[in-house]
Structure 1
Amino acid sequence: MVKKLDAIDLKILTLLSENAQMAYTEVAKEIKVTSGTVNLRMKKMREAGLVKGATLNIDYSQIGWGLTVFIFIHLTKSEDYQSVIASMKLIPEVVKIHHITGKYGLFVKVHAKDTQHYRSIYEEKILKIKGINYTESFISINEDLNRHILFEEE
Structure 2
Amino acid sequence: MRDKLDGVDHKILTLLSDDAQMPYTEVAKRAGISPGTVHMRTRKMKNMGVIKGATLSLDYSKMGYKMTVFLGIYLRESFLYKTVMEELAKIREVVKIHHSTGKYDIFIKVHAKDSLHYRNLYQESILTIEGIRGIESFISVEEKMSRHIDFEG
TM-score, normalised by the number of residues in structure 2:
0.95
**RMSD of equivalent CA atoms:** 1.0
Partner of 2:148: 148
Once residues 140 and 127 of structure 1 are traced to their aligned partners in structure 2, the CA distance between those partners, rounded to angstroms, is 20
Match for residue 28 of structure 2?
28
- Note the 1:131-146 alignment, pairs <5 A: 131-146=131-146
| 1:91 aligned residue | 91
SS of alignment partner, residue 56 of structure 2: coil
Q: Deviations over 1:73-114 (max 9, x none)?
A: 001111000000000000000000011001210000000100
Segments of 4+ in structure 1 off by > 4 A?
none
Q: 2: distance between equivalents of 1:137 and 1:144?
A: 19
Identity of aligned residues (%): 56
Structure 2, gaps ≥5 residues long = none
Please state how far the C-alpha of 1:27 moved relative to its aligned partner.
0.3
Aligned residue type for 1:103 = K
Cα distance in structure 1, aligned partners of 2:135 and 2:22: 40
Residue 129 (structure 1) aligns with? 129
**More deviation, 61-70/3-12:** 3-12
Q: Deviations over 1:30-72 (max 9, x none)?
A: 1121111111111111111111111111111111111000000
Aligned twin of 1:115: 115
- Alignment partner of 1:55 is 2:52: no
Rounded to whole Å, the distance in 2 between the matches of 1:91 and 1:40 is 38
5+ residue gaps, structure 1, are none
The DSSP-based 3-state class of the residue aligned with 1:22 is: coil
- 2:96 is paired with a residue whose SS is strand
